[in-house]
Structures are given as C-alpha cells and as structure tokens.
A = this chain, B = another copy of it.
C-alpha cells in the first residue's frame, strides 16, 4: 500500500491535541480568577458530584494515577480546597474531602461551563453529540492496552 506524506490535518490525534490545548487556553484565565487550574477544577467537579473519594477513585474518574494526583491534591490542600486524610478502615488509602471553601466554589463556578459552551458552538445538540463521540473514542483508546 502506497503511503502518502502525512499531514497534521489528517491526524485524529492532532485534532484532539489541538482542541484540548485550545480548551485549556479558554478555561485557564477563567479558572485562574478562582485560583484553580484545569485539572484541579476537574477534581472539584468529581468531588461536588460525590464528596469523600479515595485517591484511586478520583484516579478512576479522571484516568490519572497517584503520581499525578498526589502533588495536585497537595496543592489543593495547601489552597484549602480539600482535606486529605488516611482512611481509618484501611490505612493504605487516603480520603479526599471538600473543605467549606472547596464546596463554596461550586456556586461561583456554576457559570463557567455555560461560558465555555458558548465559545464551543451555538448548537447544543451538536455539542452533546460530539461529546458523546469523543467519550466513546476515549473509551476505545483506554481499552487498547
């Protein structure tokens, strides 16, 4: 089979990389107003949904491991957004819980995703469909190891 010269525009991986970077650039200044980074915001979303998760639970939700999460959570603890304490029932694990401040940000942050959606496009149904297709892609990619 003849291989044409590869172009950036043809790479699905580059489309993802580029769109994700663009999303980050959009979120960064908004989140910075609340003293948050992008993955820190995602941790908060996960905890707003269910407070008091183990590091591994958060890792499963975000597809990250302790080598990424531990320092990130320590910074969030230093910023008084979360509390980290050993699980009394199994001292190997660490429970991450929201502080009042971390919980309080939920109200402040409520408008953020709306603001991002507005930048992403005007047809909400299209965006939901795209999100679903990207989720399926991520699932397939994660299954290939």
Contact = CB atoms under 8 A, between A and B. Distances in A.
Interface residues of A, number: 56
Interface in A24-69: 25-27, 38-39, 42, 45-46, 48-49, 61-64
Nearest to A122: B140
Contacts of A27: 13
A48 B6 contact: yes
A22 B135 CA distance: 11
Of listed A15, A61, A116, A120, residue having the most chain B CB within 10 A: A15
Of listed A5, A18, A26, A45, residue having the most chain B CB within 10 A: A18
Interface of A: 3, 5-23, 25-27, 38-39, 42, 45-46, 48-49, 61-64, 106, 109-110, 113, 116-117, 119-121, 127, 130-131, 133-135, 137-138, 140-142, 144-145
3 nearest interchain CB pairs?
A22-B141, A19-B138, A119-B144
